[in-house]
Structure 1
Amino acid sequence: MNTKLVMTSSAILMYAAGIILTFAPDLILQVLELSTDQISLFLMQIVGALYFGFGMLNWMNKGRPIGGIYNRPVAIANLSHFMIAGLALLKGLLSTPELPSMIWVVGILYIGFGITFGVLLFRHPIADRSKTK
């Protein structure tokens, strides 16, 4: 599995979410039809900072081997984030299927990244490199 592609794409996804949530939280709250009070704006900006920081972590580790014992904390952090959020999105989508299609796209992306990081966590990256030589 091409870990550089996985780490780069997840970093870009998180960067985009982080920048949008940090600098345009009011627009996101309006699209989601949620209250745009001060505490909601503040919390969206904090979540944006979290996403941006996570994107930075993935970007900085994109060229390193991931799997088995290599960069295990990065793989576990990504697996936890994507699977927990993905399952929460899936639960919400199944109970309320009329949610906007964008939420469905995000849910599918999250489940996909969660499964991918689960595979990365439990496979050995050195075995993959021997196949390419």
Structure 2
Amino acid sequence: MMTFSAAVLAVLGIAFTFLPEELAVYLGSEPGPLDVVLLQVVGALYLGFAMLNWMAKGSLIGGIYNRPICIANFAHFFIGAMALLKFLFRHPEQPVLLWILCAVYAGLAAWFGLTLFQHPLPVREGKV
């Protein structure tokens, strides 16, 4: 889960950092200088989050273990999925890439949500 989310965020981060104007034009916008720099800042956020997830990929996550990382990921992916879903239902003519991104965000939100409230270690039988 952490590796997949790190990869998704790294791809988005690199794209927004190095291709902000091109991405905005692809999505049907005419970006101004402020738009471009804001997209680059968003790219930096994605890259930072990707690095956090990559560094935590070998750690035990779930329940009380690494809870801040799990909550931050859940909040990011859940809020992002809801925002994308709301936008796509209002403007369904958007590129299929946004629909795929929305599905990935929803899947990761569900995954982190389940992880957040489950203990990461299996319960042993016979142990009270």
- TM-score in terms of structure 2 length: 0.94
Q: Give, in whole Å, the separation in 2 of the partners of 1:95 and 1:102.
A: 16
Q: Give, in whole Å, the separation in 1 of the partners of 2:93 and 2:21.
A: 23
> What are the equivalent positions in structure 2 for 1:68-79 lying under 5 Å apart?
68-79=63-74
Residue type of the alignment partner of 2:59: R
Aligned residue for 2:77? 82
> What are the equivalent positions in structure 2 for 1:41-120 lying under 5 Å apart?
41-120=36-115
Tell me, which stretches of 5 or more residues in structure 1 are unaligned?
1-5
Structure 1 residue corresponding to 2:2, chosen from 7, 10, 15: 7
Tell me, which stretches of 5 or more residues in structure 2 are unaligned?
none
Q: Give, in whole Å, the separation in 2 of the partners of 1:89 and 1:20.
A: 18
Q: Secondary structure at the match of 2:57?
A: coil
Between Structure 1 and Structure 2, which shows a larger proportion of helix residues? 1
Aligned residue for 2:120? 125
Q: Give, in whole Å, the separation in 2 of the partners of 1:75 and 1:83.
A: 12
Aligned residue for 1:36? 31
**Percentage of identical aligned residues:** 46
1:79-110 deviation per Cα after TM superposition (whole angstroms, max 9, x unaligned): 00000010111111112211111110000000
Q: Secondary structure at the match of 1:84?
A: helix
Deviating above 4 A after TM superposition, structure 1's stretches of 4 or more consecutive aligned residues are none
**Structure 1 residue 36: deviation in Å?**
2.1
1:46-67 deviation per Cα after TM superposition (whole angstroms, max 9, x unaligned): 0000000000000000000100
Question: What's the RMSD between the two structures over aligned residues?
Answer: 1.3
Q: Secondary structure at the match of 2:94?
A: coil
**Structure 1 residue 126: deviation in Å?**
1.3
Aligned residue pairs, count: 125
Residue type of the alignment partner of 2:26: V
Q: Give, in whole Å, the separation in 1 of the partners of 2:80 and 2:44.
A: 17
